[in-house]
Amino acid sequence: MDTLQASHDVLRIAEDWARDGRGVALATVIETWGSAPRPVGSHLVIDEAGDFAGSVSGGCVEGAVVAEALDVIESGAARMLEFGVADETAWTVGLSCGGRIRVYVEKVG
């Protein structure tokens, strides 16, 4: 499946979940630098129960995005998240490849 089709499928899931009455947030990769696991435009949709579909990165980064998304669903306030490598955090953020990503998380509906 190509990136455009995968993105479209995640957006459809977000729409379906919101229509079903779930609290939903959408995370979107808006910027990358260096080596990044997912391209700009990649999406991760998260519901209020912590269920998710799609991908914005991998490993610990996605776990952090899901946690932030739950707060966004509750508060309604969008957030800009940035993940990168610093000497002391290289392995904890999941981007030990040297890249950085910026992810925008917003409530759907």
13 closest CA partner among 34, 43, 42, 49:
43
pTM of the model: 0.84
β-sheet bridge partners, residue 46: 25, 52
* pLDDT on residue 37: 81
Q: Give the whole-angstrom CA distance, residue 23 versus residue 14.
A: 10
Total structural domains within the chain: 1
Neighbours of 36 (CB within 10 A): 23
* pLDDT on residue 99: 77
* pLDDT on residue 36: 79
Domain range enclosing 75: 3-108
- Strands 24-33, 52-54: pairing is unpaired
Q: pLDDT, tens digit, for every residue of 42-99?
A: 999 999 999 999 999 877 788 999 999 999 999 999 999 998 865 444 445 555 566 7
